[in-house]
Amino acid sequence: MGVNLKDIAQRAGVSLATVSNVVNGYRPVGERTRQRVQQAIDELGYSPNLGARHLRRGRTGLIALAVPELTNPYFAELAEIAISEAAALGYTLVMENTAADREAELALLDGSRQRIIDGLILSPVRIGREEVLARTAGSPLVLIGEGVYDVPHDHIAIDNVAASHVAIRHLVAIGRRRIAFIGATPGGDRQSAHLRVRGYREALAAAGLPYRPRLVAGTDAFGRLDGMRAMRDLLALGDPPDAVFGYNDLVAIGALRALAEAGHRVPEDVAVVGIDDIEEGRFTAPTLTTIAPDKREIGRLAVRRLVARIEGAEVAGPLTVQTPFRLLRRESTGTPDADHRSPTSPARSIPPVVRPREDDPRDP
């Protein structure tokens, strides 16, 4: 027969209600009492039945993370962080791959799965503000990424305009003057590609450099092949670029391949910068300079905000949170920084980022 709360109460010499408060977090318990209860839990090997607990509260214990491309290393790394954080809070996270399909994103919003999941973290691509505002599902929703703004839901993203400023300022600082952008796509002015092009143009103007439309290469998607094809087109120009800023690391890695095939040296002939800090960029030849968003902070905040709302905690909001990012200089723009592999290296040349106060009581 398994260990129950009554066994723990007897071992710790406290009431059953006190043990319940410690295990379930219903009410604060004094530190010495909490430690005594925890010691009894450890000695008896007690493991709570999370499924039963969720059912008693009318929940399933499942939350979903929906991303547009699960094979993209950025989303895979983010998912790993979110899964770990959810487990630490007693929830199971399930993955949804929308494949950047509008109907798939709408299906997640319409509430048809509301009885299966307690809440949703969504990275939207094809839907906009109107679709989110029209949502009738009552389960909590947290948005990540840059697809939708100005809606009554928590939203966690980086400042894409500021991130582009940092990348272009870095390329200007190492002497580059014909800087291309790969990854422009048609779409709303709040989509991440548009925001990164906007930051690119603003940074060029701030540096006194002209904006050359021919150096902005559009792509159908944001993968390695897209970056390689766009780089080939840029090299075919009569006056090719001396630097490239890719929409993401995958695009930049594709550009590196095209440059190698064409016999161009990186960074001597063409410098390259990406965004995302995926692990692959640390093993390319040369290694890839990148703008690194704080993926751990994004995943942690998204899960904690969602769980806090599921459990009815008193949290401020909805909040729009801009998480930190930093420039990691590697071989594709010159001599790497000594700490470029350190996840705790300080931010460099990054404009102030507004971060609303996190009021989640579960957040230490």
User: Which pLDDT score is estimated for 136?
Assistant: 75
Are 175 and 119 contained in the same domain?
no
User: What would the two tokens of residue 240 be?
Assistant: 């090719």
Are 272 and 171 contained in the same domain?
yes
Are 14 and 122 contained in the same domain?
no
Is residue 96 within 8 Å of 108, Cβ to Cβ?
yes
**CB-based contacts of 171, cutoff 8 Å, min separation 6:** 179, 243, 245, 271, 273, 333
Which has more confidence, 137 or 210?
210
Which has more confidence, 81 or 113?
81
Are 186 and 286 contained in the same domain?
yes
The average confidence (pLDDT) of the chain is 84
DSSP letter for 208, please.
Answer: T
Length of the chain: 364
Q: Which of 32-41, 216-225, 251-260, 317-326 has the highest mean pLDDT?
A: 251-260
User: Which pLDDT score is estimated for 27?
Assistant: 59
Q: Is residue 134 part of a domain?
A: yes
Secondary structure class of 224 (helix, strand, coil): helix
Are 258 and 214 contained in the same domain?
yes
Q: Which residues constitute the domain of residue 91?
A: 62-158+296-323
Q: Is residue 123 part of a domain?
A: yes
Which has more confidence, 304 or 30?
304
pLDDT of 28 over the 80 cut? no
pLDDT of 337 over the 80 cut? no
pTM of the shown model: 0.76
Q: Could you read off the pLDDT of 257-271 as tens digits, one per residue?
A: 999 999 999 999 999
Is residue 198 within 8 Å of 168, Cβ to Cβ?
no
**CB-based contacts of 8, cutoff 8 Å, min separation 6:** 19, 23, 37, 40, 41, 44, 46
Is residue 328 within 8 Å of 277, Cβ to Cβ?
yes
CA-CA distance, 273 to 281, in Å (whole number)? 10
User: Which pLDDT score is estimated for 173?
Assistant: 96
CA-CA distance, 243 to 259, in Å (whole number)? 11
Number of domains in the chain: 3
Q: Is residue 315 part of a domain?
A: yes
Identify the CATH number of the domain in which residue 9 sits.
1.10.260.40
Are 117 and 151 contained in the same domain?
yes
Secondary structure class of 343 (helix, strand, coil): coil
Q: Is residue 81 part of a domain?
A: yes
pLDDT of 362 over the 80 cut? no
Q: Is residue 362 part of a domain?
A: no
User: Which pLDDT score is estimated for 21?
Assistant: 73
Q: Is residue 54 part of a domain?
A: no
With cut-offs at 50, 70 and 90, classify the pLDDT of residue 190.
Answer: low
With cut-offs at 50, 70 and 90, classify the pLDDT of residue 178.
Answer: very high
Secondary structure class of 169 (helix, strand, coil): helix
Q: Mean of the pLDDT values across residues 290-307?
A: 94
Q: Could you read off the pLDDT of 218-260 as tens digits, one per residue?
A: 998 899 999 999 999 999 998 999 999 999 999 999 999 999 9
* β-sheet with 271-275: strand ranges across: 216-218, 179-184, 243-246, 271-275, 289-293, 325-328
Q: Could you read off the pLDDT of 11-23 as tens digits, one per residue?
A: 888 888 887 777 7
Residue 205: how many other CB atoms lie within 10 Å: 12
Are 283 and 173 contained in the same domain?
yes
Which has more confidence, 211 or 102?
211
User: Which pLDDT score is estimated for 202?
Assistant: 98
Q: Mean of the pLDDT values across residues 113-139?
A: 83
Q: Is residue 9 part of a domain?
A: yes
User: Which pLDDT score is estimated for 93?
Assistant: 95
pLDDT of 344 over the 90 cut? no
Q: Could you read off the pLDDT of 89-124 as tens digits, one per residue?
A: 889 999 999 998 889 999 888 765 556 889 999 999
Which has more confidence, 51 or 279?
279
pLDDT of 354 over the 70 cut? no
Identify the CATH number of the domain in which residue 259 sits.
3.40.50.2300
DSSP letter for 189, please.
Answer: T
User: Which pLDDT score is estimated for 232?
Assistant: 97
User: Which pLDDT score is estimated for 18?
Assistant: 86
pLDDT of 353 over the 60 cut? no
Phi-psi region of 294 (alpha: psi -120 to 50; beta: other; left: phi over 0): beta
DSSP 267-303: TTT-EEEEES--GGGGTSSSPPEEEEE-HHHHHHHHH
Q: Mean of the pLDDT values across residues 166-184?
A: 96
